[in-house]
Amino acid sequence: MINWYPPYIGAGIKLKKVNQDKTRMEVELRKTWFNKNLFGTHFGGSLYAMCDPFYVFIVHNYLGRGYVVWDKSAEIKFIKPGTGKVSAVFEISQEKLLQLKEEVDSAGKHTVFFETVIKNESDQLVAKVRKEIYMRKKS
């Protein structure tokens, strides 16, 4: 359903693959006239937007409805101008998810950082993204 989200349609962002246990998601962004900047490269906001919800989706899917999962902070470092198709992979192991659940269950809440990279079609680094995810048990 994320591929029908209007901001993602306009930005050219697509969720391309999700593994069976929903712990790994691959996203791509193709450059169009909707998402290019003054210099003809990817608009930085679109590069960030392609990374926005996926760690939250993975954690929320694992923890379930008895938990609140939220983005707390985010940081993107632009390394090289993005041109053409760029992509990012978001993955959290089952072991890490189990560890997070145990930490939230014992403390009531927890924050964690995840990092990913955006690469171009030549597998060159375009940007680094760091997300802080907040989790807590619902009261």
Which residue has tokens 């989200």?
5
Examine the pLDDT at 3 and tell me if it is beyond 90.
no
Q: What is the dihedral of CA 23, 28, 34, 36, to 10 degrees?
A: 120
pLDDT of residue 36: 77
pLDDT at 55 (0 to 100) = 97
Residue 33 pLDDT grade (very low, low, confident, very high; cuts 50, 70, 90) = confident
Please say if the pLDDT value at position 118 is more than 80.
yes
For the chain, list the domains and their CATH numbers. 2-137 (3.10.129.10)
How big is the CA angle at 105 (ends 93 and 117), to the nearest 5 degrees? 30
**Lowest mean per-residue pLDDT among 2-6, 40-44, 134-138:** 2-6
Q: Which of the pair, 118 or 39, is modelled with greater confidence?
A: 118
d(CA 110, CA 130): 17
Q: In which band, very low, low, confident or very high, does the pLDDT at 135 lie, cut at 50, 70 and 90?
A: very high
Mapped to the 3 state alphabet, what secondary structure does the chain carry? Answer: CHHHCHHHHHHCEEEEEECCCCCEEEEEEECCCCCECCCCCECHHHHHHCCCCHHHHHHHHHHCCCEEEEEEEEEEEECCCCCCEEEEEEECCHHHHHHHHHHHHHHCEEEEEEEEEEEECCCCEEEEEEEEEEEEECC
Average pLDDT over residues 10-25: 92
- Is residue 34's pLDDT more than 80? no
Q: What is the pLDDT of residue 38?
A: 82
pLDDT score for 42: 83
Q: What does the pLDDT look like over 45-96, one tens digit per residue? A: 889 999 999 999 999 999 999 999 999 999 999 999 988 899 999 999 999 9
28: Cβ contacts below 8 Å, ≥ 6 apart: 13, 14, 16, 50, 85, 86, 87, 88
The letter for the amino acid at 105 is D
